[in-house]
Amino acid sequence: MGALLGLVLGLGLLLVWSSTWPPQVVTGTSGRRRTPRLRPLLVSAGLRDVGVGAFLTVCAVSATACATVVLLASRTPPVALVFGLMGGYLPVALVRGRAERRLRELAEVWPEAVDNLASAVRAGLSLPEALGGLAERGPEPLRPAFRDFAVDYQAGGRFSDALDRLKERLADPVGDRVVESLRVAREVGGGDLGRLLRTLSGYLRDDARTRAELQSRQSWTVNGARLAVAAPWLVLLMLCFQPEVIQRYATPAGVVVLGTGAALCAVAYRLMVRIGRLPSERRILA
């Protein structure tokens, strides 16, 4: 028991210490800067101000808390270690779920935003003015990003740079398509901007409707996979209140059973999610 607590405490201190390190930038063969994998996930979830080090600290605290609570209840270090690992992954799962909900929400409101742009352009406004107007007339989830766009454009007057920063704030594949379409329309010019926006609005609306139908049909697969994986661990958690039963998992055979069960659950869950997952949209020129 003491060894487990020392291991969990050391892991937590290591993650807290790592949060003070300067951000590591890796340069690939193409010369582009690579960011940590967690960074795009935090940005997609709307948590741009949360650093990777701080997020890892939250994961360490969650793992330590879960392991400590289960250890006090079961007096079985292997069981506490397994639930500690689950607790460490819990913040990642919550952020990933938040990112998915945010992307679905943005995909639903983008057609309305493009319709507003088309109406503003038809009324005689320039494209930068129409984009800035979405800060007041656009859909509520998009207003903060376009409000910042208006400030950037007024401060620098460079439309392309303001669009780049808008893409970074949105961190949305649908937003990337809209922004790049507007960039091309701005650079090429011509009087077809209104028709382009109406066509883009119709395409986005059809795409969102189709994806929503597919997601509703495959949601039972994902929910079934989650239930199947969670069920044995909920039973194990309830067994923590039966000392004569839970102590059997402190033996070498019990450790093998726990490790094998955890590995099988992880592989089965990832396989089920991959089978039932829709193809994810990739960001454009991000």
Structure tokens belonging to residue 24: 């590591």
Residue 195 neighbours by CB distance under 10 Å: 11
Segments of the chain with pLDDT less than 70: 1-36, 189-191, 276-281, 284-286
133-179 pLDDT per residue, tens = 898 888 898 999 999 999 998 888 888 888 889 888 888 888 888 88
For the chain, the residue count is: 286
Q: Which fold has domain 105-208?
A: Receptor-associated Protein (1.20.81)
Domain ranges of the chain: 105-208
190-201 pLDDT per residue, tens = 567 778 888 888
HEC per residue, the chain: CHHHHHHHHHHHHHHHHHCCCCCCCEECCCCCEECCCHHHHHHHCCCCCCCHHHHHHHHHHHHHHHHHHHHHHHCCHHHHHHHHHHHHHHHHHHHHHHHHHHHHHHHHHHHHHHHHHHHHHHCCCCHHHHHHHHHHHCCHHHHHHHHHHHHHHHHHCCHHHHHHHHHHHHCCHHHHHHHHHHHHHHHHCCCCHHHHHHHHHHHHHHHHHHHHHHHHHHHHHHHHHHHHHHHHHHHHHHHCCCHHHHHHHHCHHHHHHHHHHHHHHHHHHHHHHHHHCCCCCCCCCC
Query: pTM for the whole thing?
Result: 0.76
Report the candidate in 284, 104, 112 with the shortest Cα–Cα distance to residue 211: 104
